[in-house]
Structure 1
Amino acid sequence: MGLFLLSITITGMAGLLLAVLMRGIVRLRRAVEKAEVLVGHCHSGTLIVRAERVVTALIQTASLAEPRLPTHTVSGLPTREPLIHRIRADRAGTIGVLAFKDYDRLCAFDPELADRFLIAMVERMATMMPADRILAHLDRAHVAVWLGSDVEASSATVEIRALAYALSDCYRDDEREIIPEIAFRINRFDIALHTPEAFLSQTLSSFASVPRGANENIVSDDHKVRSEEQFQIGQDLRQVVAKDQLHMRFQPLIDAASARVCGAEALLRWRHPERGDISPACFIPVMETVGLSQEIGSWALNRALRETRLWRENGHDLRIAVNVSGHQIEAANLPQLIERTLARNDVDGEALEIELTESVALAKGDGAAAFSQALRANGIRLAIDDFGTGYSSFEALTAIGFDKIKIDRTFVTNVHLSRQSQAICASILTLGRGLGINVLAEGVETIEEFIWLRDHGCRLFQGFYFSPPLTSQRFLDFVKNREGLLNLLQLSDQSSYERTYA
């Protein structure tokens, strides 16, 4: 009896299970048919095969619909949008942005080489950075490293500086070698102060500001204030000529061997109606950055030559030295402009000396040499300024054809106390004698500096020991004060210089 009841129970359960399975199969068939409609294709085969195929099709459709992170077409790095999302999620942290300055230069003549260079730089970065650092390609030649909120600001600064240094190692592409020029900025983010979008824009815009100081790579509140100041200076500079806010000062050039003033350096000055006198160290770099070197440089040359004509009309055979920037040399018509300005002021070319800084002279290469030849054809002399601060070569000195070397004030200051400065100054004086080029020491501020340089063969001087920059009339008064000059030269009478420099 017990076995009979057990048999009936098992049979009932099997029937129930079969009924459930049949109902599930019906539901499965209906689900597969609906899914086939969704994927737009009816499959053949058994129900199980059809189910497998429709599941595969749905997975493929879903994967195609998934949003993908936007990446840069050259580097393959994520672009700024994913970075913005991460910065917003972290709420605070430090970013380093590196600018590969060679990229656009290479694009000008070989875009494919430029892309290979950029890819190589990004690959270097990827191998150098810890795995948890986030890289993003912001625009063209700017790549960002997000260090997040767990890294201290000081550690982040050290890391980005080291990265920029390591990336500057030589890059080789077949037979071409490129020494990368890399600029970088470091900025600290706090979501309470900025949106991520404004934060990135501010960091990128900091590359356009004129660098000043040892911490120029750190984007700080001071950096923001300076950027705003430079922007306003650039705006005001556009009107200085029209509003007659510029004027010239003239610093005497002393020929100690003949105990006389042989000329003056024309120095540009700006008196702002609200800010007062603005330092040339402040406005001249901005002037070059905003592209006003040609206009303001032309004004300065014309004003300097106008004063020179007046001096000569009063019987003073003086030469005027005028600074020319690298941006001015880039103008192909600069020699013609100088020639016309000389003619307009009725001044001979012999009365003019053009000064180029050492870095400009060497950077312009053949352009500077051609410029020199054009000047010499009109009797104009050429001086190399700030000598010793760059990487001069004998070839450059002779190829460009300088008439004068000006020892930078860095080496003149306390030359009587510094063995290093003494060695440099003595070497430059020997170089000048060997090449037949006059040597002038600028920035002479004390009698001790003057005496050391004089005793080691220097004949030409400029600096506050003799006179600060003067107005035109006060400069003429200085020229006429021969007794005052003899006292400064430590000469008791008119003929003493003959014994001193015999």
Structure 2
Amino acid sequence: MDQASILARAYCIKIFLILLSITATASVMADEVPASGWLVPANTPFQTTKPLLEQVVTTDSKTDLSHVRIKAEQGYWFIVDLNKRSQSKVEVIYADNSHLAQLNFYILDESFNPLVEVKNDAYRYVDKVLPHALLPKDEARWAVIYARHSEDDRLSIGLATGNEFANLINKKLRNFFLITGLLLLCLAVVGTVYGLSHQAKSLYLLAYLVCVLSEFLIAKGVLNYFNIEFASLWYTKLQFSFQVIALGVVNFYFIHYLQSQNLLNARQDKLTVYISLFCVAALFSCFMKQSVQFAVVTVCLGSMLVVLSYLFFYWLSNTKKAMQFKFVLVWFAVVLQTLCWQATLVAGAQIQQLNDMLLVLNVITFVMVLLIHERKCVMQYSYSLTHDDDTKLPNKQLLIERLDSQVKLSTEHSLLLFRPAVLINARANFGYEHVNEQIKLTMGKLAQQLASMNVLCVEANLQHSRCIARLDDSTYGVVIVGKLELSQVEQFVCVINSVFAEGLTHQRIHLIDKVEIGVANYPLHASTSLQLVQRGLQALAVKPLHGERWHMFNIENVTLSQRRIAIASALKEAIECDQLSLFFQPQIYLNTGKVHGAEALLRWEHPQLGNVPPDLFIPIAESSGIISDLTEWVITQALQYQKKMIVLLPEHIVSINISAKDLLRKDLPVLFITLLNEHQLNPANVMLELTESATLFEGVDIKNALNDYRLIGVKIAIDDFGTGYSSLAYLSKMGFDEIKIDKQFVMNIEYSKNDQTICRATCDIAKSLGSYVVAEGIEDSQSMAKLQSYGCEVGQGYFFSRPLPFEDYMQWLEENLETTTVFVNDLEKVVDLIGKNNY
């Protein structure tokens, strides 16, 4: 449910209440002016009726003509004495039944001779509302009405002055249009609610209102205005059929509701069939005689009322919830309306006004119940927008609203965000339901301790006051009012840590963990509430160092984080757009001066970021998942260059660094095999360099992965040896072909006894394991001589060459091959000189 739908539903409720207050002031009762006279059952035409009328007036007594029942196919003469018309100023005679098959008015003189032919062409639309005749002045002595209908019906004869008749017409029309308008308004409101919510109860109420509106329009003779001759015999009977269908809709809704509550599964199908049969029987009864139809409708209404009562009391006896007043009200209103409908079949127009009143009251009741329910849904939705579903704590939106109010007042405040790691671990071990209960208890304890401190109430109402907000699944926030003081922040940090120091326990499992805390201040760190929340999250994301318990927002950390994000987003593009390049640093045999090979080093020159060092973008590539693409690019380029380098030096060895993330990839050995075959390279001339930390990554699987590469024929080297925690047994088990001494032990080897000891021991270890040693970071001849004396075979460093682009490296390689002999002679002299000085 989106916010627009909720607002639209709220506006529907308001519009309905406004219009309802206007229409509720109107009366649904109509005044009647009854008449008295003589009633003569006879089917004779008017020309032959004069003796009969004279005899009846002379011999019979008057009767009340306000409520007369006529039988089917029987004609009736109604005689009204107008002799005293001048005293009462009677001007109109009318019959309150507009859908009779035949209704004729005659105005007679003292001798029962017609004075004038009654024609109401000028008032034909008024005649559709209330059939009538205008009485001539001073001449009319008798008024005679002839009435006949195809079915049993009722008729009311009345006299009125012109003003009284006009008022009577106005009241009838006003009541008709007010009730019709109210029903149409209710239809529009319920239709709108259904269009927005698509709930079944709205659809059922919509169908009920359609049936009630149809029944009301037929009862008021609306079809008379359209002169539908062929339908005049049966359309009025639809009034009672729509009553049955309306009650059937209510039953269907109760069945649907009970089914949704899993209370009526077994009996549902049978009850639905019974109610459907009653509705069909009511429809077919329109083509039966009126007496038969009344019997059928009475049985259908009574039967469905029994079913409705059964469903209602069945719900009361089986539901575990407290009895809802709205269901009792709906049931009582439907029962009362049904009883009134059944009484109308017997009493007819005498209780039609009561039926109209009940109709209005019931429709208003049903729609109000629906709107109250929708209002409750709107309130619940509004509450859910500003509160967490699990813990009922204020959420991020409500927190930002409160921060906005503080910003508008220019009040200094600090946002303290904390993330208890124990909650994340507890969800994985204990489940959400238990942890949510523990969160409520823990946050309740924390709120009690913070209540006496200078905190901002994020939510304050009659029920409760809350100062803790939940931003997401594991992050919570507290607003500290006032200037930023580190001592005050420390006090809050102590309170929070003390509350979570107890940890969480469930089924004898006890979890205790740290709490990460970040703080940002307004206006020191942010100028808006959203920015303040962002600053707080950035402070929260900083990893704690040296026992720190919390972090204040620092722009330097943000700059570094933003640079890491920019690098991660640009790295994928760098691979695709060929922004990367390989540099090669030569590796030299220390004894002979010949070229052993070169280590391939990755370099990245970004157009905007500039030169990005590998130490920065390699970890980012590993954390962002781009390292696989990066490794494949390096291997592909290195082996392409190796094909060109072996043309100058067939025994040239290229060393390729591989990440620990890619070491266990099953498709990487396949890539090596494909490229080696494609370029026709000797696998023994390819060296994979693994850092010591990478070789300690999931130990057993690493050995199996290395065996896959050894089957190909590729050699394996351990890089940066001495910086990790490898044991001799571990090195022996792995069986590395090459051990590289890290440059931090080589650069100060001339002056550091510890570095000398480490390098000498590494060379001894390598010899005992059958591996050869490569020393990194050789920058002068003295370091080279010492390593050579320890038995180190190969060296690389600035003393030989800096890392070179491929073209420069090829040129260097070609020149070096020509000067190797001279270099070896010079090297022997240097070694002899160093040996004399040392010994």
Scaled by the length of structure 1, what TM-score is found?
0.66
Which of 193, 199, 203 is residue 532 of structure 2 equivalent to? 199
For residues 49-448 of structure 1, what are the structure 2 equivalents within 5 Å? 91-93=412-414, 95=416, 97=418, 100=421, 103=424, 107=428, 138-140=471-473, 152-153=485-486, 186-191=518-523, 193-204=526-537, 219-448=553-782
Secondary structure of 1:317's counterpart equals coil
**Native 8 Å contact 1:326 1:364 kept in 2:** no
Hey, what's the Cα distance between the residues in 1 that align with 2:690 and 2:423?
25
Secondary structure of 1:296's counterpart equals helix
Shift of 1:482: 1.6
Identity over aligned residues, as a percent? 25
Counterpart of 1:49 in structure 2 is none
Change (3 A) 1:151 1:209: closer
Shift of 1:253: 1.5
Structure 1 range deviating more: 418-427 or 76-85? 76-85
Name the aligned partner's letter for residue 687 of structure 2. E
Shift of 1:463: 1.6
Hey, what's the Cα distance between the residues in 2 that align with 1:397 and 1:135?
54
Shift of 1:221: 1.6
Change (3 A) 1:493 1:391: closer
Hey, what's the Cα distance between the residues in 2 that align with 1:101 and 1:321?
45
**Native 8 Å contact 1:382 1:402 kept in 2:** yes
Secondary structure of 2:687's counterpart equals strand
Unaligned runs of 5+ in 2: 1-324, 327-379, 456-466
Hey, what's the Cα distance between the residues in 1 that align with 2:481 and 2:690?
46
1:492 correspondence with 2:826: no
Name the aligned partner's letter for residue 522 of structure 2. D
Instruction: Tell me which protein shows more helix as a share of its residues.
Output: 2
Structure 1 range deviating more: 473-482 or 143-152? 143-152
Shift of 1:422: 3.4
**Native 8 Å contact 2:596 2:794 kept in 1:** no
Name the aligned partner's letter for residue 91 of structure 1. E
Change (3 A) 1:286 1:495: same
**Native 8 Å contact 1:91 1:190 kept in 2:** yes
**Native 8 Å contact 2:518 2:540 kept in 1:** no
Secondary structure of 1:241's counterpart equals helix
Shift of 1:334: 1.7
Structure 1 range deviating more: 246-255 or 466-475? 466-475
Change (3 A) 1:465 1:494: closer
Which of 788, 802, 809 is residue 454 of structure 1 equivalent to? 788
**Native 8 Å contact 1:429 1:457 kept in 2:** yes
Structure 1 range deviating more: 413-422 or 239-248? 413-422
Structure 1 range deviating more: 149-158 or 475-484? 149-158
Secondary structure of 2:643's counterpart equals helix
Unaligned runs of 5+ in 1: 1-38, 41-64
Shift of 1:392: 2.4
User: After superposition, what is the alpha-carbon deviation per residue over 1:21-41, rounded to whole angstroms, capped at 9, x for unaligned?
Assistant: xxxxxxxxxxxxxxxxxx99x
Shift of 1:260: 1.8
Name the aligned partner's letter for residue 603 of structure 2. R
Shift of 1:232: 2.4
Task: Decide which structure has the larger Cα Rg and report it.
Answer: 2
User: After superposition, what is the alpha-carbon deviation per residue over 1:183-241, rounded to whole angstroms, capped at 9, x for unaligned?
Assistant: 957443224624444333344357879999x9997642222222332222222222223
**Native 8 Å contact 1:100 1:142 kept in 2:** no
Counterpart of 1:482 in structure 2 is 820
Hey, what's the Cα distance between the residues in 2 that align with 1:105 and 1:467?
56
Hey, what's the Cα distance between the residues in 1 that align with 2:606 and 2:562?
17
* Number of residue-to-residue matches in the alignment: 428
Secondary structure of 2:829's counterpart equals coil
Hey, what's the Cα distance between the residues in 2 that align with 1:393 and 1:174?
41
Q: Considering Cα pairs closer than 8 Å and 6+ residues apart, tell me whether 1 or 2 has the greater RCO.
A: 1
Hey, what's the Cα distance between the residues in 1 that align with 2:732 and 2:755?
24
Hey, what's the Cα distance between the residues in 2 that align with 1:101 and 1:492?
67
Hey, what's the Cα distance between the residues in 2 that align with 1:447 and 1:375?
36
Shift of 1:414: 1.5
Change (3 A) 1:191 1:206: closer
Shift of 1:303: 0.7
C-alpha RMSD of matched pairs (Å): 5.3
Hey, what's the Cα distance between the residues in 2 that align with 1:354 and 1:319?
10
Secondary structure of 2:615's counterpart equals helix
Name the aligned partner's letter for residue 776 of structure 2. E
**Native 8 Å contact 2:590 2:793 kept in 1:** yes
Hey, what's the Cα distance between the residues in 1 that align with 2:785 and 2:487?
47
Change (3 A) 1:81 1:342: same
Scaled by the length of structure 2, what TM-score is found?
0.42
